[in-house]
């Protein structure tokens, strides 16, 4: 599927992940977003020979690269699955029964897209290069971005762009995109970007710190096409249920919508009431404790060295009961 060489994906908040997921002997580790195996490689380097590491990803290109990178490591198993569907997946259940019947010591979810996906034009995630308007993390299932857009009305597309991209000009942008589609001018990522620029013109020389006007619309359509936020809270809750007591879940999010879901889910599992009014209508069981209540952001040095890390936030919870 990939025709261009695989770009490097620099694992984000790596030292912070290692400091928070200290593996015991014979650890059982579940990586819900294996990607190119950057976090996996570093975590495995801290682990003993009896450790078993299950890496899950829905992207066939990512799995192939991670296998090539770490394939010689007999402690690693790689599974093709979306993490929302993992808990019922027969291959996962078989692996878990054989390798981790007591649950996991560490579970990692490094959410969102990888540099591989963003920088491979054929995958259609980016407006930097022209590629087919696809954006699926798993190109073997679901609708491409173009097919998804073709199913939208002005209103539903505007709602998605507003909700998932926090784009204030969502209505005129949605109209411009559907106009381009109906006039046969919406086949590539650059066609989509051009439709956005008809509403928010692109500055000729991009000013430092100013993102491209198409960024929020691309983020929104990608989130919608991949259903990225639909079952995140349920998946995190299921992940906590698969931890051993004392085991930790570490989640890295990349934008405020994602982080809000992670934060609210972990706080609720920590027995903290965030609903309306001062007191909870019922006592919430304290299933986890939060390790850093505000989460961890990348250091200035990391943000400067790896700009995609700038918006990342790591949240860690430890299972209590
Ligand atoms: C940020 S990258 C992970 C990078 C990885 N930690 C590394 O160091 O190489 C996120 C990965 O999660 C995968 N992914 C995103 N949503 C997923 C889902 N719902 N189920 C399974 N994999 C998913 C993507 O395909 C991508 O490869």
Q: What is the pLDDT of residues 74-128, one digit of tens each?
A: 999 999 999 999 999 999 999 999 999 999 999 999 998 998 899 899 999 998 8
Q: What is the pLDDT of residue 277?
A: 75
The minimum-distance atom of ligand 1 relative to the CA of 82 is: 20
Q: Chain centroid to CA 72: how far?
A: 26
The torsion angles phi and psi of 49, rounded to 5 degrees, stand at: -70, -20
> How confident is the model over 4-15, as pLDDT tens digits?
455 578 999 999
Q: Which domain holds residue 20?
A: 14-112+229-319
**Assigned domain for 7 exists:** no
- Residue 137 Cα: closest atom of ligand 1: 25
Q: 170 and 101, same structural domain?
A: no
Q: Whose CA is nearest to atom 22 of ligand 1?
A: 57
Helices (H), 59-169: 60-70, 90-99, 115-119, 145-150, 154-165
* 95 within some domain: yes
Using CA atoms, how far apart are residues 55 and 72, in angstroms rounded to an integer? Answer: 14
| Location of structure tokens 């590539």 | 188
25 and 108 assigned to the same domain: yes
Q: Do 190 and 140 share a structural domain?
A: yes
Do 73 and 150 reside in the same domain of the chain?
no
Residues 159 and 209 in one domain: yes
Residue 3 has a pLDDT of 46
Residue 84 lies in a domain: yes
Residue 281 to residues 137, 260, 274, 278, Cα–Cα distance (Å):
40, 22, 11, 9
Task: Report the CATH number that the domain containing residue 176 is assigned in CATH.
Answer: 1.10.150.170
Ligand 1 centre and the CA of 81: distance in Å? 11
Cα gap 68→316, rounded to integer Å: 29
> Higher pLDDT residue, 202 or 178?
178
Instruction: Give distance in angstroms: CA of 33 to centre of ligand 1.
Output: 4
pLDDT band for position 283 (cuts 50, 70, 90): confident
Same domain membership, residue 245 and residue 222: no
CA-proximal residue: ligand 1, atom 5 (nearest):
35
Ligand 1 atom nearest the C-alpha of 227 is 19
Residue nearest to atom 2 of ligand 1 (CA): 114
Is the residue at 284 inside a domain? yes
- 205 pLDDT more than 80: no
Q: Could you tell me the CA-to-CA distances from 235 to 61, 88, 184 in Å, in that order?
A: 23, 11, 39
- What's the CA gap between 252 and 259, in Å, rounded? 8
Ligand 1 binding pocket, CB closer than 6 Å: 9, 11, 33, 35-39, 56-59, 62, 82-84, 110, 112, 114, 137
Task: List the single range of 22-36, 208-222, 227-241 with lowest mean pLDDT.
Answer: 208-222
> In the chain, how many domains are there?
2
E strand or H helix that includes residue 215: helix 215-226
Q: Could you tell me which residue, 75 or 1, shows the higher pLDDT?
A: 75
Domain identity same for 262 and 208: no
Which atom of ligand 1 is nearest the CA belonging to 10?
A: 8
Task: Please tell me the distance between residue 276's alpha carbon and the centre of ligand 1 in angstroms.
Answer: 34
In this prediction, residue 209 carries a pLDDT of 59
3-state secondary structure of 254: coil
222 and 131 in a common domain: yes
């Amino acid at each position: 599927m990939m025709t261009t060489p695989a770009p490097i994906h620099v694992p984000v908040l790596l030292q912070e992940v290692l400091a928070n997921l200290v593996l015991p002997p014979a650890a059982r580790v579940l990586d819900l977003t294996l990607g190119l195996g950057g976090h996996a490689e570093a975590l495995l380097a801290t682990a003993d020979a009896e450790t078993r590491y299950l890496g899950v990803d829905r992207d066939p290109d990512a799995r192939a690269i991670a296998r090539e990178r770490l394939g010689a490591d007999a402690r690693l198993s790689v599974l093709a699955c979306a993490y929302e569907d993992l808990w019922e997946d027969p291959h996962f259940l078989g692996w878990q029964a054989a390798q981790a019947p007591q649950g996991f010591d560490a579970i990692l979810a490094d959410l969102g897209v990888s540099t591989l996906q963003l920088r491979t034009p054929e995958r259609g995630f980016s407006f930097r290069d022209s590629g087919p308007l696809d954006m699926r993390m798993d190109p073997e299932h679901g609708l491409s971005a173009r097919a998804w857009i073709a199913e939208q009305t002005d209103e539903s597309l505007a709602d998605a762009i507003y909700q998932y991209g926090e784009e204030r000009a969502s209505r005129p942008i949605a109209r411009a995109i559907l106009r381009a589609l109906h006039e046969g001018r919406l086949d590539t990522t650059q066609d989509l970007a051009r439709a956005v620029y008809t509403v928010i013109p692109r500055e000729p020389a991009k000013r430092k710190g100013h993102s491209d006007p198409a960024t929020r619309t691309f983020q929104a359509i990608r989130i919608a096409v991949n259903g990225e936020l639909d079952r995140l809270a349920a998946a995190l809750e299921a992940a906590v249920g698969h931890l051993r007591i004392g085991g930790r879940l570490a989640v890295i999010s990349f934008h405020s919508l994602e982080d809000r879901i992670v934060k609210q889910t972990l706080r609720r599992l920590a027995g903290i009431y965030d609903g309306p009014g001062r007191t909870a209508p019922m006592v919430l069981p304290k299933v986890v404790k939060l390790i850093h209540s505000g989460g961890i952001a990348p250091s200035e040095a990391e943000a400067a060295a790896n700009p995609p890390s700038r918006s990342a936030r790591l949240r860690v919870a430890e299972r209590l009961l």
